[in-house]
Structure 1
Amino acid sequence: MTAKPLDDPFYYLNNFMQVIDWLEHRYADVLADEEQRFITDFKGLPRESRALLVRLIMRKGIHFRAGKLHYPEIGDIAAAASPLLALAWVDQQMPLAVETLFEVLLKAEILQCLGTAIDQPKGKKSDWLPALSEQFPEARTFRQWCPTLDDQLFSLTIMGLCDRLRLMFFGNLFQDWSEFVLADLGIFTYEKVDFCADSRGLRSREDVDACMFLHHCQQLFEAGEALGDVIGQVNGLTLSNPWLQRRREKLLFQIAQHCERIADFASALTLYRQCRYPGARLRLIRVLERCGEFELALALATQAEQAPESAAEQQVLLRMLPRLRRKLGGPPMKRASPRQMLRLDLQLPRTDLALSVEHYVQAHLTQDEAPVHYVENTLINSLFGLLCWPAIFAPLPGAFFHPFQRGPVDLLNEDFHERRADLFQACLAELDDGRYRQTIRERFIEKWGVQSPFVFWGALNEALLEQALDCLPAEHLKHWFNRLLLDIKANRAGMPDLIQFWPQQKTYRMIEVKGPGDRLQDNQLRWLEFCHEHGMPIAVCYVQWAEQAA
């Protein structure tokens, strides 16, 4: 019987060693001297010392009470820590502010160490901190703070270095070492992609430093630091990596949105003008309008109308242009009337407040010969993801950096489809000759549970899949899939809530559900219009609760 990864008590050390080996193999030319020295020294440590360091790295924070570290496979913590102290990767003399001390001491221990300075010892621990912060402004070592406490404090000094290694491996700092454990447990399974030589998000040492700097700027922004300083630092960064440039554009867009929210319109206008992130142009027009700059807003909106960056932008412009022209004294423009939708009006008794309105409609409409499924965005996306799996997970340069990716890094980039046009064309060609049914069935079994940016495994089952393949025409699937590829970010949401199948007739109907007071959102309106344009059966169901109507 094959041993499971977690059967080895040092599984976490094995995982960390996998990262080290990966970085040495793929990032040797990018590693700084300090990082290369760390890897060499780490490999030379006793196994127990390596294991202790990895345990600390994977825990939250950088300060750890020795008395609270209990790992049977490591044994004597003091002995394991000794080589780490000698390398200065762990420090027992790090000065601590009283605020940090509060994070590592229990209430009784604070009283034991600082009781004479506390006026009301029966108060809450948090109540003591303001007064103690004034009394003890200077930092001290743990032993100086707690001379009577029979314990030691280990403080990690290399967390910044380990964060850089984590960044190089994952290509981001929001994934952490738990990814290995989740994969080992089988909670997450990832597609195995053949990594080519160019499969690196960070191509140079400059990229690593720039990515860390952008992360630092993001933290400063989220912490409420002076916006001018943060913006200056972000703009002062020189980047040659398109992936990092997009990250910077996204951060500038977020800062601009914040400026807009706090009515700092001057800063918002400056940022939106220089920002190339999708949606920045539309926000710029909105802010110009809010500032009364109607002529500038109209000129930019008219220009955008000639070449809208997306269907979402085009939809909003159709509402904005008549309003801007009217504000400048132009003749009123009749707005195009929305297409008449097939409408269902239901009055239903509400017996369980915990159930959503969609579930009530599903239960009301479903029949043995015409089952109704609550699918929303899950079904069409999943069918697309299963059919186009080879194109989505193609090992293109710059798409996959490590073994724990749910999808390609460039998924939402404007050139995502263009870079894989031939691959997607080959996948969609199966819709023309009927091969798609067998391909989707086989891939449903073969890839079950593997992470994907499109496939919602929890919403799929064999019965739903078979009904969909029997009742959804290939022509309609092709229209949906092509629309997804036009703008993945915008078009993979907004799909109708319910789908009803008539397996005997091999037909279907999609149903968008609206409860009392709810209205259709922009992305839903776009999907409804698209379905009408291509002759797809769709209805909007408006629900009133029976007790409200009485």
Structure 2
Amino acid sequence: MNSAAAVAAPLDDPFYYLTNFEFVLAWVTERHGDLLGEAEWGFHVAFAALPRASRALLVRMVMRKGEHFRPSRLAYPEIDAEAGDTEAALAPLVAAGLVEAAPALELATLFAQLRLPELRQALAEEIRAAGLPPAAGKSVLREALLARDASPRPLAAWWPDAPEEVVRLTVMATCDRLRLMFFGNLRQDWSEFVLAELGHQRFEAVPFGVDARAFCHREEVDAYLALHALRGRLEEGEAPVELAAAVPARPANPWLASRHARLCLALGRQAERQGEGGLALSLYGRAGWPAPAASGEGRIRLLRLAERRGETRKALALAEPLARLSHDEAEAQALERLLPRLRRRLGLSPRAISTEPVPERFTLRLPGPAWVEGAVRDHLHHEAAPVHYVENTLITGLFGLLCWEALFAALPGAFFHPFQSGPADLYREDFLARRREYFDDCLARLEDGRYRQTIRDNWRMKVGIANPFVHWGALSEELLEQALECIPPEHLRACFERLLGDLRTNRAGLPDLVQFLPEAPAGEPRYRLIEVKGPGDRLQDNQRRWLAFFRRHGIPAAVCQLNWEETA
């Protein structure tokens, strides 16, 4: 099955979530069996031996947040109807070791599980010892008591009169690993099945065989989980100096290597914010080299930080060969600014740099303040020259519709489950090279006029289906038709080729507005793109690059500087 709607269980089945979970389990064991270890196979066997009510209860727990639960909060009518009550469904899970009956609880877990009146009973001695008033609120209790050194213990030891014991799911890590092997990421979760069944999310049906999968080696799954765990610890506030020591060597897999670089970059940014410049330099180095395959942002951050720390000669020694090697527009733009500064600091003559074309500009003064793009749109709009707000949606949307076939080509390593909004290798270096023939065929339609019908057909046939470049809510049929009538195909081709040069970076920075001019005299542009800047705002680097590109290719684009009228 290649369609998400086809694999999602109908929601009128009270055990739909169990059916979906069992589908994932079967899918993973069939396609990733050689990557499963003792824990995963043991779970598979133990889960299959459970009664249905117990399997359903375990899945309900897996799909909820955290690992600790109070049985009284695990009441589900379909489970109670089959097992009699929650305790009856829970007992086989405890017997199989999938749930721990009376785990030792840390104070933080206690605060998460108990209500305020219960906390006052369970922690009465600790509250008195801390000198807190009996009526203290939960936040006051948390702040005071979590700072105290208290050993974990079962709930009955904290609170002998507790009406029930807290239980702990012991297989969450195993289930997360299985979810990762199915989706190829931990961003997607079990709700994907429900959203697909409800029709809230629709995905292109791409054929793939039993050998199509996200991971080829168990070590790759381990590496992903390790990097994900470190990122989570960083987001929870753990010090980067501690996390940096735990970062593993860069994986050989290019996809995982990019995740490794992004983690090092995030750690470096946090270290720099905390004033740990030496650590930040080291982490930016790990993120950015070897060049140009790693993170360009990491390289530029390293050079800028080295400059601020007075390590000018080191920065120049790294920057000059990088300027000769880099094919990244954003990096080249940053180096053009950085290199002259570094050379001046060292008393060297600045080398000639390319000059950026100056974009056309005009100024408006309107009543306000208000939404700047909306104010300019409404002021310029009239029936003969309609204006639309399209920031990053029009050019990319036309590209996604024209090149649908290329984006969803069923190539090895691109699609491996039914819930993908785009190819897994979308931002990898070889994405275009692997599909050059497909993209050439799509772009050739701009030469012979077939592109209009292709875009119209895909807009009608694919409406609502996820595409990484098509934002359906922003691409009305009226906007589509006006764009196809007024934007020349040679302009579209130039923009599409630039998108393909760096899909991740170049999909952003496009102008805010488009104005169509269908009644323009022959030989004059029948549209113009407008980047709006409000008071005190200035062009971002990615916007400057697009505007320079438009200028070089004769594409009509302007910057509107908006000022508000002064009021009495």
TM-score by length of 2: 0.90
Q: Secondary structure at the residue paired with 1:380?
A: helix
2:294 matches 1:289? no
1:244 match? 256
Q: Secondary structure at the residue paired with 1:5?
A: coil
CA contact (8 A) 1:494 1:524 kept: yes
The Cα of 1:144 is off from its aligned counterpart by: 3.0
Q: Secondary structure at the residue paired with 1:419?
A: helix
CA contact (8 A) 1:369 1:503 kept: yes
2:558 matches 1:539? yes
The Cα of 1:389 is off from its aligned counterpart by: 1.0
Map 1:67-82 → 2, pairs under 5 A: 67-75=72-80, 76-82=85-91
Map 1:451-530 → 2, pairs under 5 A: 451-505=466-520, 507-530=526-549
Aligned amino acid, residue 113 of structure 1: A
CA contact (8 A) 1:200 1:401 kept: yes
Structure 1 distance, partners of 2:148, 2:550, is 69
The Cα of 1:285 is off from its aligned counterpart by: 2.1
Structure 2 distance, partners of 1:287, 1:112, is 53
Structure 2 distance, partners of 1:495, 1:220, is 35
Structure 1 distance, partners of 2:381, 2:404, is 32
The Cα of 1:112 is off from its aligned counterpart by: 3.4
Change (3 A) 1:262 1:68: closer
The Cα of 1:260 is off from its aligned counterpart by: 3.2
1:110 match? 119
1:100 match? 109
Structure 1 distance, partners of 2:456, 2:104, is 61
Alignment gaps of 5+ in structure 2? 1-5
Q: Secondary structure at the residue paired with 1:449?
A: coil
Structure 2 distance, partners of 1:135, 1:281, is 43
Structure 2 distance, partners of 1:134, 1:392, is 53
Structure 1 distance, partners of 2:139, 2:340, is 57
CA contact (8 A) 1:49 1:81 kept: yes
TM-score by length of 1: 0.93
Structure 1 distance, partners of 2:117, 2:207, is 55
1:422 match? 437
2:66 matches 1:61? yes
Map 1:225-264 → 2, pairs under 5 A: 225=238, 227-236=240-249, 239-264=251-276
The Cα of 1:80 is off from its aligned counterpart by: 1.0
1:154 match? 167
Q: 1:87 aligns with which of 96, 115, 123?
A: 96
Q: Report Cα offsets for 1:129-182 as digits up to 9, x if no partner.
A: 455558882322223333323334222111111111111111222222112222
CA contact (8 A) 2:9 2:20 kept: no
Change (3 A) 1:227 1:127: closer
Structure 1 distance, partners of 2:195, 2:15, is 16
1:278 match? 295
Map 1:190-269 → 2, pairs under 5 A: 190-225=203-238, 227-236=240-249, 239-269=251-281
Structure 1 distance, partners of 2:35, 2:340, is 54
Structure 1 distance, partners of 2:144, 2:248, is 41
Structure 2 distance, partners of 1:39, 1:446, is 40
The Cα of 1:369 is off from its aligned counterpart by: 1.0
Q: Report Cα offsets for 1:366-400 as digits up to 9, x if no partner.
A: 01111000001100000001111111112222222
Aligned amino acid, residue 191 of structure 1: E
Structure 2 distance, partners of 1:135, 1:317, is 51
Q: Secondary structure at the residue paired with 2:339?
A: helix
CA contact (8 A) 2:281 2:306 kept: yes
Structure 2 distance, partners of 1:526, 1:44, is 60
Identity of aligned residues (%): 51
Structure 2 distance, partners of 1:511, 1:227, is 42
2:342 matches 1:324? yes
Q: Secondary structure at the residue paired with 1:455?
A: coil
Structure 1 distance, partners of 2:340, 2:138, is 60
Structure 2 distance, partners of 1:223, 1:140, is 24
2:3 match? none
The Cα of 1:27 is off from its aligned counterpart by: 0.7
Aligned amino acid, residue 483 of structure 2: A
| Larger mean Cα displacement after TM superposition, 8-17 or 147-156 | 147-156
Structure 1 distance, partners of 2:9, 2:187, is 27
| Larger mean Cα displacement after TM superposition, 201-210 or 427-436 | 201-210
Structure 2 distance, partners of 1:303, 1:541, is 38
Q: Secondary structure at the residue paired with 2:331?
A: helix
Aligned amino acid, residue 360 of structure 2: L
Aligned amino acid, residue 138 of structure 2: K
Q: Secondary structure at the residue paired with 1:373?
A: strand
| Larger mean Cα displacement after TM superposition, 244-253 or 81-90 | 244-253
Change (3 A) 1:103 1:27: same
Aligned amino acid, residue 179 of structure 2: R
| Larger mean Cα displacement after TM superposition, 408-417 or 372-381 | 408-417
Aligned amino acid, residue 469 of structure 2: F
Change (3 A) 1:200 1:445: same
Q: Secondary structure at the residue paired with 1:429?
A: helix
Q: 2:134 aligns with which of 121, 124, 136?
A: 121
CA contact (8 A) 2:240 2:270 kept: no
1:168 match? 181
Aligned amino acid, residue 206 of structure 1: E
Structure 1 distance, partners of 2:332, 2:432, is 21
Number of residues of Structure 1 aligned to a counterpart in Structure 2 = 544
Structure 2 distance, partners of 1:447, 1:210, is 36
1:446 match? 461
Q: Report Cα offsets for 1:49-99 as digits up to 9, x if no partner.
A: 111111111111111111222211111111111111110111221111233
The Cα of 1:343 is off from its aligned counterpart by: 2.0
The Cα of 1:289 is off from its aligned counterpart by: 1.6
Q: Secondary structure at the residue paired with 1:285?
A: helix
2:373 matches 1:368? no
Structure 2 distance, partners of 1:35, 1:129, is 37
Change (3 A) 1:19 1:339: same
Change (3 A) 1:151 1:372: same
